[in-house]
Structure 1
Amino acid sequence: MAAERPEPGPDASLVSLYRWLDTVPLSRPRKNIARDFSDGVLAAEVVKFFFPSLVELHSFVPTSSTAQKVANWGHLNRKVLSKLNLWLPDEMIQALVRSRPGTAEQLLQLLRAKILQRQRNGKGGVGSRQRIRQRWTRAGTWTQAGSALSPRPCPRARAVTVAVPAQPGGGPGDMRQQLADRERALQLARDTIQILQAKVARLEQLLLLKNLRIDDLSRRLQQPQGPRR
């Protein structure tokens, strides 16, 4: 019987990924990454470590049951990953549950990218978004900063807001109507921007998934084939 051929060592991107993962204190030691992450619990712990307010770990049950694994991933997908603009397709969840080699690494690559993006943007919770909206009403305009919107004073916009031209025969009621119309128009623009940002994030996710799949297939093609029996 021929000796078992050793598996090729991980490439640089996987080494970097494993080093990043080693910085996270997981509840159980990492032995076989495909099996370790199959129930979704460790993935929830990774997000919890970086963003504690996004995850309630008691919602995720360590299990060997396929049905419970799928339930864990479904909950993680809806309640946690969606807040990072990440959505796992059903076929990827099934591959994770079945411990298909390479799928856990693909998930972690996606997750790390979204975590780093959120850290760079310094994105906060609901309270931060409320404060931004309140500052906007005083500042007078919006500016794009990464994937989040942040206010920046605009002298021209402020001048228009403060010095509203008086209409002949107009009173306080007319002024309030003009301000209400302006608020509605700005809310519509804000909603449109959020929709476009969500679409861009989805396209980025699909592109990253495609690149990870190409890298995985390339590695498999480069592996030498064992002797045929």
Structure 2
Amino acid sequence: MRFFMLIGFNLLTALSSFCAAISANNSDNVEHEQEVAEAVAPPSINIEVKYDVVGKESENHDSFLEFYAEDTATLAYNVTNWEDTNITIFGVNGTIVTYPHGYPVADITGASIGPYEMEVNGTSKFGQDVTLNLPEGQYFLIPFLLASRFDEIVRIAAPPTLFEIVSPPISFFNPQFLSVQVIFLAIIGGVSYYYMKSKTNQRPSKKSATVKKVDESWLPETYKK
């Protein structure tokens, strides 16, 4: 009996040691994952980024701004530095994703700006042109600013903007519209022609008058032909 109790005690001790080792290993893995996440995550920076789309101002941020394909959207930025040190804004880029699924469809071409040296609590204003070479549909525009703080490069996301690419209105002189007009006028002309022709064929024909010979026997000789 004591022999079996001794074996059971040894098994419990071994299981306890094994569980403690697994727990320590899991703890090490969690700490390692946190270190990796912190290393990969972009550095945070206390910068306030606002911008307006020139000519498309809207009080409702949930509404879609309308553009035609290959239009140019001009972004007017207003950036405020809430850091406790000076920073420098030196570039802009961004991405465009579909709404509502969020699939990337285009990159905003990076461009150099400034550089703008921003003091603590300072504000800078500048612009960016974005060509919307996209098919019809609904999208998110997500701009990014590139800034430097000491020797550190940071990428600052600006608020996304909803916009929609719509079909342009058909011009009266558009070739497709003109072809429709020509076909329509041809149909009207053809129907009018056949209608007038049928009316002409239905008119009664005038009978030619027959010349009756007049009895001239009773007329004097001077009046006879």
**TM-score, scaled to structure 1:** 0.21
Q: Which has the higher contact order (CA 8 A, sep 6+)?
A: 2
Higher strand share: 2
Higher helix share: 1
